[in-house]
């Protein structure tokens, strides 16, 4: 597996994807290629499209997913695997350009990777002094520096409250506004947060985690892109195709849960309407009534997996092929699904 980022709940993801030879799959958040490598190991005969907006991740994934050429230097391309440097919000367009009208499975592993957190120059962590950046795509011009130094107090406070439930959102936003000079590094921002939340306490640590998380989500438009991409993914799925999503944040999980619930309903008209007028048709069968979590053994080996929540669903429709249906009572089966 990739040293760039240890794939979380890889076995569970592979089982739920129900990989079949010759079918088309998408890894929407390839990272260092850990999950993609696991998919290819489980079923080498799949066609796989791998998306990531991070140039560094794409380069690492290329080394992981493609075999070395005869000279031992450049990786040999595989006709059944393609790496695409793009945000998953562009997935539908990118697949259309490649004449792909439907897919048989898609995996999302959301949030920031271990490599991005550990790489000081990316500015994702308050524990390492670095420029206030936080961009997942280096070609993007808008950074955390722009957000912190250009947004109004009420705008910053809303970001901190909406994306991290920070109780001191307004006070921290005002402290940022009072800064005597532009805030240009992660340490400078951390020190300002400490003027409100204190120093060396659990609450101080939590406040810094929440503020940095909220800024990252804002800078990369993560939730807006996710809402759009999930709808696109569901529409792209062929009957019997699976969508599997790993989330690490309550707001991400809420978006997935609501999108799955909506797609699993036939009628979405208000109860006050006597006759259905929405013409909404059920698209999904939910496979995980409640989100799955990593095992105790995995959380010990990979701390990032502690907050992971795994949800999965299957596309329904004419010609629906159940494939490897999970048995009733399986930990992956949805019990009492409505």
| pLDDT tens track for 145-164 | 999 999 999 999 999 999 99
- Whether 135 maps to a domain, the answer reads no
Smallest CA-to-CA distance from 258 within 224, 231, 293, 222 is with 231
Co-location of 243 and 194 in the same domain: no
pLDDT higher than threshold 70 for residue 324: no
Co-location of 102 and 231 in the same domain: yes
CATH of the domain at 101: 3.40.50.150
Q: Distance of alpha carbon 315 from its chain centroid, rounded? A: 20
- Whether 276 maps to a domain, the answer reads yes
Smallest CA-to-CA distance from 26 within 112, 95, 77 is with 95
- Whether 328 maps to a domain, the answer reads no
| Count of residues making up the chain | 338
pTM of the full predicted structure?
0.85
User: Of 166, 190, 219, which marks where a domain is finished?
Assistant: 219
Instruction: Give the pLDDT score at 276.
Output: 75
Co-location of 215 and 292 in the same domain: no
User: What is the per-residue pLDDT across 39-66, written as a single tens digit (0 to 9) for each?
Assistant: 999 999 999 999 999 888 888 888 888 8
What would the two tokens of residue 176 be? Answer: 């940022």
What would the two tokens of residue 20 be? Answer: 């079949």
- Whether 3 maps to a domain, the answer reads no
- Whether 124 maps to a domain, the answer reads no
User: Of 219, 243, 272, which marks where a domain is finished?
Assistant: 219
Co-location of 229 and 307 in the same domain: yes
Distance CA 35, CA 266 (A): 33
Smallest CA-to-CA distance from 112 within 80, 68, 82, 144 is with 144
Co-location of 14 and 96 in the same domain: yes
pLDDT higher than threshold 50 for residue 11: yes
**How many C-beta neighbours within 10 Å does residue 235 have?**
12
Co-location of 178 and 295 in the same domain: no
- Whether 155 maps to a domain, the answer reads yes
- Whether 101 maps to a domain, the answer reads yes
- Per the structure, how many domains does the chain have? 2
Co-location of 102 and 29 in the same domain: yes
Co-location of 208 and 251 in the same domain: no
Q: Cα dihedral angle (206, 209, 210, 212), rounded to 10 degrees?
A: 150
Co-location of 189 and 276 in the same domain: no
Determine contact, residues 226/136, Cβ cutoff 8 Å: no
How does residue 310 score in pLDDT terms, banded at 50, 70 and 90? very high
Co-location of 296 and 254 in the same domain: yes
Which structural domain range is residue 256 located in? 10-115+222-315
Co-location of 169 and 252 in the same domain: no
- Whether 194 maps to a domain, the answer reads yes
Co-location of 230 and 301 in the same domain: yes
If you compute the radius of gyration of the chain from its CA atoms, what whole number of angstroms results? 21
Among 3-12, 40-49, 182-191, whose mean pLDDT is lowest?
Answer: 3-12
The residue with greater pLDDT, 228 or 66, is 228
User: Of 219, 246, 270, which marks where a domain is finished?
Assistant: 219
Instruction: Give the pLDDT score at 170.
Output: 97
User: What is the per-residue pLDDT across 235-281, written as a single tens digit (0 to 9) for each?
Assistant: 999 999 999 999 999 999 999 999 999 999 887 777 777 777 767 78
């Amino acid at each position: 597996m990739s040293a760039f980022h240890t794939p979380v709940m890889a076995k569970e993801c592979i089982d739920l994807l129900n990989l079949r030879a010759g079918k088309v799959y998408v890894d929407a958040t390839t990272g260092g290629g850990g999950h993609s490598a696991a998919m290819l190991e489980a079923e080498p005969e799949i066609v796989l499209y791998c998306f990531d907006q991070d140039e560094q991740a794409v380069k690492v994934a290329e080394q992981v997913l493609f075999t070395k050429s005869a000279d031992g230097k450049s990786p040999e391309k595989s006709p059944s695997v393609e790496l695409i440097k793009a945000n998953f919000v562009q997935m539908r367009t990118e697949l259309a350009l490649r004449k792909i009208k439907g897919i048989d499975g898609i995996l999302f592993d959301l949030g920031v990777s271990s490599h991005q957190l550990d790489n000081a120059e990316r500015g994702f962590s308050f524990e390492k002094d670095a420029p206030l950046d936080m961009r997942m795509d280096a070609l993007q011009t808008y950074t955390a520096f722009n957000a912190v130094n250009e947004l109004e107090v009420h705008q910053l406070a809303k970001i901190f409250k909406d994306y991290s439930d920070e109780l001191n959102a307004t006070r921290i936003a005002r402290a940022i506004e009072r800064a005597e000079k532009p805030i240009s590094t992660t340490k400078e921002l951390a020190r300002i947060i400490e003027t409100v939340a204190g120093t060396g306490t659990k609450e101080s640590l939590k406040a810094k985690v929440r503020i940095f998380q909220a800024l990252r989500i804002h800078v990369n438009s993560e939730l807006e892109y996710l809402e759009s991409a999930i709808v696109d993914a569901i529409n792209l799925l062929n009957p019997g195709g699976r969508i599997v999503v790993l989330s690490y944040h309550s707001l991400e999980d809420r978006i997935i849960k609501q999108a799955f619930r909506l797609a699993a309903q036939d009628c979405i008209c208000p109860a006050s309407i006597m006759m259905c007028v929405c013409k909404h048709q059920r698209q999904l069968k939910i496979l995980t009534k409640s989100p799955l979590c990593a095992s105790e053994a995995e959380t010990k080996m990979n701390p990032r997996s502690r907050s992971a929540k795994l949800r999965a669903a299957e596309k329904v429709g004419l010609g629906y092929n159940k494939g490897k249906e999970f048995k009733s009572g399986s930990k992956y089966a949805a019990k009492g699904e409505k």
